[in-house]
Copies of this chain bind each other. A is one copy, B any other.
């Protein structure tokens, strides 16, 4: 899966897959679902985590069949029952499709899916930042600003994973501070779906810089107590991210589809 750059850029860039492969899916899993891990995980929890990582690595560009028998063998010879329960969970969360009496399949993601996910995410994160504003401490905000400046300083050194970490942590900070458990879970599910094409997504330094600038602006607005500005900027930030992903992954020039 080679992507054609929509604009030339002489600095380092790359798809996530090129740079990190297997280790990234584990990192992504921790960032997205780490906090929700059970104290005493069941066999189903283990199967869910392992299959999640595989699905993310397969990505959203091809439909691939997942056989419960094969997976059960590969996951240390466990039985089909917990594997099927894990697969059911992934279907619920929108990462897989189950074709009745024909099995489980990874899903392909279209431009329509990108629109759905980012539109939803925009509405949810704007709600999150409004709920979070009075609950975020100055220390938390400043700590994240520092982290942001640190990453911006050496984006060239280890670009993509470091950027993804700080990006996810920024959005997680705001989401968690909302205090709305259902909102937190919904956003985690959307991010889980986004991870499906994160592996093919191409990250340009320019795009990462723009994102970090947006984050900075939002954090500064929150520090200044200007919630409306933070919300507007966050909405714009997510619209921009959507356009970036659409341009990168779906090059057929359908940017006009609103």
Which B residues lie within 8 Å of A183 (CB)? 116, 119-120
Which B residues lie within 8 Å of A131 (CB)? 119
Which B residues lie within 8 Å of A94 (CB)? 182
Within A85-137, which residues are at the interface with B (CB < 8 Å)?
Answer: 85, 88-89, 92-94, 100, 115-117, 119-120, 122-124, 126-127, 131
Which secondary structure characterizes the binding site on chain A? helix
A42 to chain B, nearest CB (A): 7
Which B residues lie within 8 Å of A123 (CB)? 123-124, 126-127
Question: Does A3 reach chain B (CB closer than 8 Å)?
Answer: no
A90 to chain B, nearest CB (A): 11
Within A140-198, which residues are at the interface with B (CB < 8 Å)?
Answer: 180-183, 186, 190
> Is B124 within 8 A of A182, CB to CB?
no
> Is B180 within 8 A of A120, CB to CB?
yes
Which of A88, A124, A182: most chain B Cβ within 10 A? Answer: A182
In the complex the two chains form, what is the Cα distance from A42 to B126 in whole Å?
39
In the complex the two chains form, what is the Cα distance from A122 to B183 in whole Å?
12
Question: Does A38 reach chain B (CB closer than 8 Å)?
Answer: yes
Question: Does A5 reach chain B (CB closer than 8 Å)?
Answer: no
In the complex the two chains form, what is the Cα distance from A124 to B182 in whole Å?
12
Which B residues lie within 8 Å of A1 (CB)? none
> Is B180 within 8 A of A116, CB to CB?
yes
